A and B are shown apart, each in its own frame.
Chain A
Amino acid sequence: MLTMMMSIVHRITGFGNYFGTLLVAWWLIAAASPNAYGRFQWFASSWIGRLILFGYTWSVIHHMLGGIRHLIWDTGRGFGPKEREWLAAANLIASIAITLVLWIFIMLTMGVA
């Protein structure tokens, strides 16, 4: 059940990450000028900007961990019923935990808690 749900989540997070690259491109291009970077920082520190960046962080990490799961499967391992469920649960829990740790660190660094 969880395995099935995680399969579609892998696709959905991949779809989200696709458009998230626009933020990466914006950030990299904006870094060249103080004005442009100010606009990016204004977006990134806004309510909606934070929500989007938080979601993007989770989406990237979840997709990366899910990808590692797929690479393990590519070696022919991890297909047992227990292993599949365990890997799916670990994928979900680890992605949420890592995202929260990263964002706690970010908020502390920014001095906005």
Chain B
Amino acid sequence: MAAPLHMRTPLGRVLGRGAAKSGTEHFWHQRLTAVANVPLTIAAIAILITLVGRNQAAVAQILGSPTVAIIMLLFVVSITIHMRLGMAVIIEDYVHDDSTKLTLLIANTFFSIAVGLASVYGILKLSFGL
């Protein structure tokens, strides 16, 4: 009988989920948001540049206008998903104590969601004038 070509079990190969049991989802979402972040970041910087030096009323009006608000919402959602994935990799690479790692991964998710939703709240408030 020929020696096996690899160490992975047939079931493991079919499921294709790897050691972290999450398959390629992390990699894919990381790349997907990376691709989205490029035009969104350029657009966000362009918006920011046009707002520099303007007073609060003008900034609020422009940020709350439909096109600008939608671009900023997409920007904020995409970067916060991307940064959560990136920080998770940093934590997994450098923190080897299991309980510290878990605590930091939880904190990472909480921070990313909190800062993301706070930004979304800011944009929606300007859009709807609440």
Which residues of A pack against B, CB within 8 Å? 11, 14-15, 17-18, 21-22, 24-25, 27-34, 37-38, 60, 64, 67-68, 70-71, 74, 102, 105-106, 109-111
Known: A15-B90, A64-B41, A110-B52. A29 touches B121 (CB 8 A): yes
Q: Report Cα–Cα, A27/B54, bound state, in Å.
A: 13
Q: Does B16 contact A (CB under 8 A)?
A: no
Q: Report Cα–Cα, A34/B72, bound state, in Å.
A: 21
The residue in chain B whose Cβ has the minimal distance to the Cβ of A40 is B56
Per-residue 0/1 for B38-78: is the Cβ within 8 Å of any A Cβ (1 yes, 0 no)?
A: 10011001000100110011011001000000001000100
A27 to chain B, nearest CB (A): 8
Are B38 and A14 closer than 8 Å at their CB atoms? no
The residue in chain A whose Cβ has the minimal distance to the Cβ of B122 is A28
Known: A31-B126, A110-B53. A24 touches B83 (CB 8 A): no
Are B86 and A106 closer than 8 Å at their CB atoms? no
The residue in chain B whose Cβ has the minimal distance to the Cβ of A67 is B34
Q: Report Cα–Cα, A106/B63, bound state, in Å.
A: 18
Count of B residues near A, CB < 8 Å? 33
Main secondary structure of the interface of B (DSSP, over half): helix
A66 to chain B, nearest CB (A): 10
Are B119 and A31 closer than 8 Å at their CB atoms? no
Chain B neighbourhood of A102, CB < 8 A: 45, 49
Chain A neighbourhood of B90, CB < 8 A: 11, 14-15
Sort A-B residue pairs by CB-CB distance and give the 4 closest, nearest first: A28-B122, A37-B56, A29-B122, A25-B118
Known: A28-B72, A64-B37, A74-B31. A14 touches B119 (CB 8 A): no
Are A67 and B37 closer than 8 Å at their CB atoms? yes
Contact of A28 among B42, B52, B57, B119 (CB under 8 A): B119
Chain B neighbourhood of A24, CB < 8 A: 76, 115, 119
The residue in chain B whose Cβ has the minimal distance to the Cβ of A110 is B53
Could you pull out 17 A-B pairs where Cβ atoms are within 8 angstroms? A17-B79, A18-B83, A18-B86, A21-B83, A25-B122, A28-B119, A29-B118, A31-B122, A32-B60, A32-B122, A32-B126, A34-B57, A64-B42, A71-B35, A105-B49, A109-B53, A110-B53
